[in-house]
Amino acid sequence: KSEVVIGHIRQANVGRVCLSNTHPFVREMWGRNWCFAHNGQLGAFSGEATFYRPVGDTDSEAAFCDLLNRIRAAFPEPVEVEQLLPVLVEACAGYRSKGVFNCLLSDGDWLFCFCSTKLVHITRRAPFGPARLKDVDLIVDFHTQTTPNDVVTVIATEALTENETWRRYEPGQWGLWRHGECVSQGQS
């Protein structure tokens, strides 16, 4: 089991199809691995490559590196994620002005999400039940995969199941998650 998992299915609209362009992207900052995935297109975005630089040639990785560079410039030493929120939200709103920017960002302890156009989420708690996937004839029984103390939140571009109620983010809305619970949210 993991506290935070980020997965991504890439359509490869920008950049070559190769390992260096594969999401999620990971970089170390403050002794922790930061993980990032982006859905959307930022066109010819490159960002300012100071400390963090893209390895591949996607707009997504360029935005991730730019975001980390902004954080590092604002906070040379580690701070709590709540102090980072203004920088994260301002940067994401700026990326959104350049195109579509739905993103997930985590340091393994918390997960930040930002909705540019479409993002949904669902939080599951005990008693866990079955969920029927939308795109394949498969039912997942979460009761067999969880404990009564688990809180499981899934954030995706589109709802993944058809027998559950997913909540839709509005454009410009963001959320900060920890241990499956939303601890802060807002609108840019």
Dump pLDDT digits (tens) for 79-126. 999 999 999 999 999 999 999 999 999 999 999 999 999 999 999 999
Residue 45 counted as domain residue: yes
CATH of residue 88's domain is 3.60.20.10
Token duo for residue 155? 């954030």
- Reduced to 3 states (helix: H, G, I; strand: E, B; else coil), residue 6 is coil
Any domain includes 95: yes
Domains held by the chain: number: 1
- Examine residue 146 and state whether it is found in any structural domain, yes or no: no
Ranges under pLDDT 50 in the chain = none
- Whether residue 66 is contained in a domain is answered as yes
Is 13 inside any structural domain? no
Classify residue 71: in a domain, yes or no.
yes
Q: Is residue 127 part of a domain?
A: no
SS3 180: coil
pTM of the model: 0.92
Virtual CA dihedral for 178, 180, 182, 183, nearest 10 degrees? -30
In a domain, 60, yes or no: yes
Domain that holds residue 45: 19-115+171-181
Scan for tokens 């707009």, then name that residue. 59
E strand or H helix at 182: strand 181-187
Ramachandran class of 187: left when φ > 0, alpha when ψ lies in -120 to 50, beta otherwise: beta
